[in-house]
A and B are shown apart, each in its own frame.
Chain A
């Protein structure tokens, strides 16, 4: 089976570039050049150097001893939370700004939900001296003030998106509108494996450094290149796409994605796209979407702003359909419990997004000999207020 994008930009029936003609030139240019740029020696050298010296890669693959004992198996944690800016997002923004520079662009735009991708974009713009505009839902601006201030300190203009539910979907709409209005000097750094082809493939390739490292680190530590499981959270799905990438063709490696179920898939207050969605076109891609029978997009809900998206990357829709990937919905409560458990057992406070992946450890029956790689996509600093409120709530009960 081939799980990668075909020459027309599709994964099975999912993906494509459903763009208005106003975006044709930019997308066409990117589609024509992204592989050549990424395969060039200059790009490879510069990307590798920046990942090592600036981001701090390779990120550790850490054998979680106490957690392994608790779940009676072998758990390795891929520490993307230790990257500069606190999550895997920087792998993509470093790569894309190098591509943007090669294309002669001088202005960068981005969307952000929790602010992690916005911070990672503002960071590389500071690093390369490029103008940066970040669109963020006005509700998220209020919820994630520390990240807003970080972006501002880094020199980015943060523009609140006032349409819709004022969250990630609406920020993405505004970023697309900006690109339509600024077709010449601007590159849009999309933060996940979503949007029109070639974005899902380009972002997955840039994030694939995660699984590339897992392979040699695991070999070094266990003698085996391939784990039995790779488990990651999925909103748009970029950290999962990166963690799965080099194992896609290895059928013996189970690829598991945790979707945000919010209050539960049956409640309607959810972001578990694969479980409540159906195929449709949003943000220029044909993928699984939360939508009404009339084709209007339904606003998602999750405790974690980074998973609060009504769609999912087309590759994940395809992996789900073909059963190559196993996807499971995880509720707010399960994710929070998992976050506290990881903190107590290993001394690592995870981002709420990443905690969704750890919740699956409760559900899956592992063998004592299994090797399980958990992708810890981000750190929990940005979620401290939520955690503090939860602890207060616990105490007053």
Chain B
């Protein structure tokens, strides 16, 4: 399974629907749409830059929902929104979830919304609108906590491959392989997708050996900056990864 991330509003404000449809056509299995934030602390330089550019282009939660209004008439690929909590809070959690359901978003990844606060304050709202809340699992997590996160997460588990912010890395280190094996042994109920540092066919294949699939972000965001038709760039990129 291949999930691909891009920042809404980057490289151009109105690319959103084109990128989603091109990804679906080229063979991606899930699309993750980044909602830009001025202070993305969990992201490396590539996504920091794309977020900033997107904000300069005029992207916001409101604009994104407008752009997604007709998306379900064009594609049925699963769509996940990913972003930081503050823009969602300011939009209003209830209104946000209602809009997600309305345009056909399937799930959310909000890295700075801790699961404890989610469970206490927002779970009922997410359930009401049938939205998955996808949780992150970093390598230093204890097995006990991983089992908890698996219980609290829905859709899939976002396996953070390295102790790091987002961005391309070298091939897997022994500690990462050990961590992936530990996850396998825990027999988790959610599918696992490995992200952070996946950038090539090699690292994608490697990740698929240990999980149900992988997530590519920074490498795709960078590829989108090249000159040329978005459709072609996306098609070439996915072919490169999936063959």
- A residues whose Cβ falls under 8 Å from a Cβ of B: 16-22, 24-25, 163-164, 169, 173, 176-177, 180-184, 280-284, 289, 291, 293-297
Contact of A173 among B39, B60, B117, B140 (CB under 8 A): B39
Shortest distance from the beta carbon of A222 to any chain B beta carbon, whole Å: 46
Cβ–Cβ contact A20 & B87, under 8 A:
no
| Residue in A16, A180, A183 whose Cβ sees the most chain B Cβ within 10 Å | A180
7 contacts between A and B (CB under 8 A): A18-B85, A20-B42, A20-B112, A20-B136, A22-B164, A281-B84, A283-B39
Q: Determine which of A18, A289, A293, A295 lies in contact with B112 in the assembled complex, contact meaning CB atoms within 8 Å.
A: A18
8 Å CB contact of B89 from A20, A183, A284, A295? A295
* Contact of A18 with B114 in the complex, beta carbons under 8 Å: yes
Q: Contact: A294 with B62, CB < 8 Å?
A: yes
A282 in contact with B39 (CB, 8 Å): yes
> Does B113 touch A at the CB level, under 8 Å?
yes
Closest to A279 in B: B89
Q: How far is the CA of A169 from the CA of B39 in the complex (A)?
A: 9
Q: How far, in whole Å, are A99 and B169 apart by their CA atoms in the complex?
A: 33
Q: Does B163 contact A (CB under 8 A)?
A: yes
Q: Given contacts A21-B149, A24-B145, A181-B165, are A295 and B138 in contact (CB under 8 A)?
A: no
**Contact indicator A294/B112 (Cβ below 8 Å):** no
Contacts of A19 in B (CB 8 A): 112, 114
- Does B38 touch A at the CB level, under 8 Å? yes
By the criterion CB–CB under 8 Å, are A163 and B48 in contact?
yes
Q: A21 to B90, Cβ gap below 8 A? A: no
Give the complex CA separation of A182 and B163 in angstroms: 7
Beyond the given pairs A20-B136, A295-B61, A295-B89, 16 more chain A to chain B contacts, judged by CB atoms under 8 angstroms and listed by A's residue number, are: A20-B111, A21-B138, A22-B136, A22-B160, A22-B164, A24-B145, A25-B142, A164-B38, A181-B165, A183-B138, A184-B140, A184-B163, A280-B86, A283-B39, A295-B86, A295-B88
Contacts of A18 in B (CB 8 A): 85, 112-114, 117
Across the interface, name the chain B residue whose C-beta is closest to A298. B38
Task: List residues of chain A with CB within 8 A of the CB of B115.
Answer: 21
Give chain B residues whose Cβ lies under 8 Å from the Cβ of A281: 84-86, 89, 112
Q: Tell me the smallest distance from the CB of B106 to a CB of chain A, in Å.
A: 21
Task: Select one of A20, A164, A294 contacting B60, CB under 8 A.
Answer: A294
> Which one of A18, A181, A182, A284 has the greatest number of beta carbons of chain B within 10 Å?
A18
| A381 to B116 alpha-carbon distance, docked (Å) | 46
Chain B residues near A180 (CB, 8 Å)? 41-42, 163-165
Q: Mark B149-175, 1 if CB is under 8 A from A, else 0.
A: 100000000001001110000000000
Residues of A within 8 A of B138 (CB): 21-22, 24, 183
Q: Inside 8 A of B111's CB, which chain A residues have their CB?
A: 20-22
Whether A16 pairs with B61 at a CB distance below 8 angstroms is no
Residues B85 and A177 in contact, CB atoms below 8 Å apart: no
- Say yes or no: is B143 at the interface (Cβ < 8 Å to chain A): no
Is the Cβ of B136 less than 8 Å from the Cβ of A297? no
Contact, CB under 8 Å: A181 / B164:
yes
Q: With A and B bound together, what is the CA distance between A282 and B86 in angstroms?
A: 7
The answer, yes or no, to whether B193 is at the interface (CB within 8 Å) is: no
Q: How many inter-chain residue pairs (CB < 8 Å) link A and B?
A: 104
Give the chain B neighbours of A296 by CB distance below 8 A.
37-38, 55, 60, 87
Interface residues of B (CB under 8 A from A): 37-42, 44, 48, 52, 55, 60-62, 84-91, 111-115, 117, 135-138, 140-142, 145, 149, 160, 163-165
Give A24 to B39 CA distance when docked, in angstroms: 19
Q: How far is the CB of A177 from chain B (nearest CB, A)?
A: 5
B197 to chain A, nearest CB (A): 12
Q: Are A183 and B163 in contact (CB under 8 A)?
A: yes
A20 to B38, CA, bound (A): 16
Q: List chain A residues, Cβ under 8 A from B163.
A: 22, 180-184
Q: What residues of A have a CB within 8 angstroms of the CB of B60 in the complex?
A: 294, 296
- A111–B226 Cα distance when bound, in Å, is 35
C-alpha gap A296/B51 in the complex (Å): 11
Residues on B with beta carbons closer than 8 Å to the beta carbon of A176: 41
By a CB distance below 8 angstroms, the chain A residues around B112 are: 18-20, 281, 284
What residue of chain A has the Cβ atom nearest to residue B37's Cβ? A296
Distance to closest chain A CB from B207 (angstroms): 18
Q: Is the CB of A173 within 8 A of B41?
A: yes
A251 to chain B, nearest CB (A): 32
The closest CB in chain A to the CB of B88 belongs to A295
Q: Which residues of B contact A164 (CB under 8 A)?
A: 38-39
A residues less than 8 Å from B117 (CB atoms): 16, 18
Q: Is the CB of A297 within 8 A of B38?
A: yes
CB-based contact B140/A17 at 8 Å: no
CB distance from A11 to the nearest CB of B (A): 16
Q: Are A21 and B160 in contact (CB under 8 A)?
A: yes
- Which 10 pairs of residues, A with B, have the shortest CB-CB distance? A295-B90, A295-B87, A20-B111, A294-B60, A296-B38, A21-B136, A295-B86, A176-B41, A297-B38, A22-B138
Residues of A close to B85: CB separation below 8 A: 18, 281
CA distance A174 to B141 in the complex (A): 23
Task: Give the interface centre of A24, A169, A294 by most chain B CB atoms within 10 Å.
Answer: A294
Contacts A281-B112, A294-B60 given: A25-B140 contact, CB under 8 Å?
Answer: yes
User: Nearest Cβ in chain A — how far from B82, in angstroms?
Assistant: 12
